Structure 1
Amino acid sequence: MNKIQKKIWMLAMVVLVFMSAIWIALTYYNHKTQSQYNNILQRYLGFNEVSIASQQLVTDLNNYLLLPSPANLENISHSKEKIRNAKYEVYKLKNAENDFALTNYLNLIDSLMETADRALLFQSEKETEDSAKEFSEATRISMYISETSLTLLDKELKTYELMYRGIIAQSKELNKLGVWLFLLVTSLSMLLTYWISLSITRPVENLTRAANELSKGRFDLQIKVDSNDEIAFLAKTFDHMRVNINNLISEIQEKAQLEHELQQNKLLLQESQLISLQSQINPHFLFNTLNTLSKKAYLEGSEETSDMIVNVAGLLRYSLKRLDRAVTLFEEVAVLKQYIDIQKARFTERLQLHIEVDDACLGVQIPGLTLQPIIENAVIHAVEPEENGGVIWFRISDDGDKVRIEIEDDGSGMPEEKIRQILEGQQVIQTGGHSTGIGLSNVVKRLRLFYENEDVLEIQSEMGCGTKVVLNIPKTRRDGHHDKTPDRG
């Protein structure tokens, strides 16, 4: 755990301890007050319950004397049970101060129940007059119980008045204590928070001022932060970075002149190479020568030879003029068909090509001479080495915001190491010596540069199971260019 975290945890623990202490204290006093209040209330409720139960017993006894029935007799039993329970609760309230009064009170309850039993006995023996007398006595005892209950309640009120006032005063003091504890905890928390925040923000402010100076280009000012936490380590690292940047700027300034001179020399070298290449072969002369040979072959009846020469001329013209700029898929497919016609003249039935093209996708932009090197790679590795030749599938389909191009063959497959080298842009030497010079690695580099996307091309292959090259061409480039359907007229 780092030091800043320790400071924050310390603040949280201090606040937690204070809040826990307040909660425990308030809970204790609240429980104590509640117990006192419940004790007083229980005394009041006990006397009141005895009074109500005695009156109910007299009422049920009167109903039974007027109409003896099992139901009314059952009601008397219930009332007697209630008065016994009430008596038991009142008995719990006995203490040294009310022992005499409460003993008489309990004796009255017993007298009431005995009188009720005698009334029932006389009623069962058909002694109506004696039963009525016992009922009158029970009524008198019930009224006396009610009066005694009021007397005891009044005495209890006077006895516990001081205690009740003490509870009220204690509650007020508890509220004051809660307010003072809240203010104390709030003050201590604010002081501790200020101290911890100051120990964090002050070094950050120093570091911010140093960063502002660096943004103004002042790399000669030392960055120093006085603290013993991670921000001090960050400041030392930042100062080390300042020194490195300052040294790097000096090195860049020294190398800038050398790079400029090197670039000038490179441009001169490229210009001289171009002039040398143009002096070796004139493209216009070569195109005119191929056109002348094509017409001569046609006049002599060699139409196949004428078509092949026309395809070679078109492929050569395309490779020389279109390599440095974007073309449409329509143009790429047209040149691809010319290349396949040339290869079919060489391999005849050994080369089988199946083309599935969605015409709606042919307006998408693509770097020039992208598909022909991939097809050429399939011809070299899947068709040429096999005695019976091979099959190549070429598909263009709509894939939402992209166009999916698949070039698949049934050759011997490609090892994983070679796939990795191609996708990493390493130069892979073609075996067989028939390449045009634009290999798969160059195609990968040009596609990634053109679309500014690393995942534009993928290669799926297993040894002995053929190879599939998949191009995921965006319909809209990052520069906002929208591709259009080409004009085939």
Structure 2
Amino acid sequence: MKKFLNYMKLRDKLLLMYILSVLIPIVLTNVVFYNETTANIRNQKIRDADMALNNLKKDLRVTIDQGVGVSYSLYADSIFNKTITRKFISEMDYVETFNSYLRGAFADQNVQGVHWYQVYTDNPTVLSSSYIDRLTDEVRQSGWYTQSQSSSSSYPTFIYSDQKFSLIQSLNNYHTSEIEQLVKIDLNMEKIHQAFFGSAFNGRVYLVDPQGRVRFGNDEALTIAATPLKEIMLPKNALTFKAPYSGINYLEGWTLLGVMDEESVLEEVRKSRSFVIWLACINFVLPSIIIAALSRSIHVRLVRILKHMKKVKAQNFQTIPHEEARDEIGQLTIEFNRMTETIHSLINEVYIADIQKKDLELKQQQAQLHALHSQINPHFLFNSLESVRMRSIIKGEKETAKIIQHMAKMFRKPISWSQNYVTVREELELIESFLEIQQYRFGNKLEYSIVVDSAVLEHRIPKMVLLPFVENASIHGIESTPDKGIITIYANVQEDRLNFRLEDNGIGMPPDKLDELLRYLEENEDIGERVGMKNAYYRLKLCYQECFAFSMDAHNGQGTNIEISLPLLEEKPESG
């Protein structure tokens, strides 16, 4: 394949690229996209329609069940059934019974799904009143009564008559002395109408009885309620959905039938044609841009080689940046870089290498000289301080001489320590020298004490991690307080940890300032005055990672407490 491409002309390569990158991908992409979109939308519409039909089925079932509840309550009431089958002595006897019991027996049966219910009985001593009526021959000839006689079961019969749905329940649960009595419950047709016409099903919905007749629906063209289903005009490409009421005795055989035109399902796909067209345009434009960019890159690479050749003429041996290219331009670039590097290396070996070697020797000598200076300067400072101290002793200024001795000790200690870790004893000696100098400065205004367990003294800690916190306590805490300042340092060992606590009775700090300081120690924000504390905290974190504990508690005008807990070092640390 590579050999074939190498023998092709550039024009033929670009033409082949256009066919493979533009024409074929656009045709395949649009065909696959359109088919997949059509199938996905159709499946989604079918799922939505099935869900909407089942929701309508549940809503209709809730309305019917409300009527069934009323029916069963009358059917199961033995007192009510025995009362309406009783032979009343006179009309007054019945009126009294009606007013005392029958009138309010089922006053609470007013539910949303029930429009009205009526109890019928052929008891000759019962008068027609309120929801109780006589079961006459005229009533027996009505359509709803005729439909109810087709079923002799103990559960209600669901029928459609006189443009409304009703439940007919025979009240024969108790001995009625051959008196026929039943209850007719008319459902709330307004609620049923709202359920059908407000359904989310995008099509026509029919309620079909067990005999296959359409009894109700949201089809405005349906004028006869008992139209056989086969006479309903369905769309040519109709999608049908069925939701039968199975397992429900009083609704056995009733079915919700949904009819949807497949053209309406695919309507959204047709609306997306413009999007498909735009996508096709993008598929044309993008590969065209790619081809133009590739053509331009060929020209740019040739021009770049020419420019670098001219630079070599001016003794600028800059190579062309490496790129993965195996065509003629790529091979030419590789060979040009190889030639340039060879010429450049020959010149470097003969002339430049010797100059760099001499320059390196000179820099090494300068580094040694700076090292000697850095050793001489501290010793000169120590000798000068010692001369001032001896002069103070000769003049009888013993206190000044003592302070100069402490200063020299503080300068000498950090320099003489050859390791990053020192004993607690050495750290406390340095802190005591600092506090002596501060006591000389403040006089009777400063008092300090160091309370240390003897077991602590020989344990090793990073050098100068406690002194910055002591310095902060004396300068920022004690200096600004008008009262006598007291600094106390505690150190002890508990189990496998070294514990240090620093207390002062200085000015403390407000909560917001304390929070700002703690954030400064954890992050890289710059407060500008506590660089030493930040350095000490950072070195503790560097040495102990997450194994050390640090806490600071301060109140405005009430001093500051700092606690540091470090793990005991198992081995002697290496020299820093």
Q: Report TM bin, short chain.
A: 0.3 to 0.5
- Whichever structure has more strand as a proportion of its residues is 2
TM-score (norm 2): 0.33
TM-score (norm 1): 0.39
